[in-house]
Amino acid sequence: MKLLLDLFLTFARIGVLTFGGGYAMLPIIQREVVEKKKWATEEEVMDYYAIGQCTPGVIAVNTATFIGRKHAGIPGGILATLGVVFPSLVIITVIAAFIANFADLPIVKNAFAGIRACVCVLIANAVVKLWKKAVIDLPTLLVFLVVFVASVLTPLSPVVYVLLAAGAGILIKTLGGGKKA
The CB density around residue 26, as the number of other CB atoms within 10 Å, is 25
Q: Are 161 and 151 in contact (CB under 8 A)?
A: yes
Q: What CA–CA distance (Å, rounded) separates 103 from 98?
A: 9
- pLDDT value, residue 73: 93
pTM (predicted TM-score):
0.59
Q: What is the pLDDT along the chain (181 residues), one digit of tens a residue?
A: 899 999 999 999 888 876 666 667 777 888 888 889 998 888 888 888 878 777 777 777 888 899 999 989 999 999 999 998 898 888 888 888 887 788 888 998 898 899 889 888 888 887 888 888 889 899 999 999 999 999 999 999 888 898 899 999 899 888 876 565 5
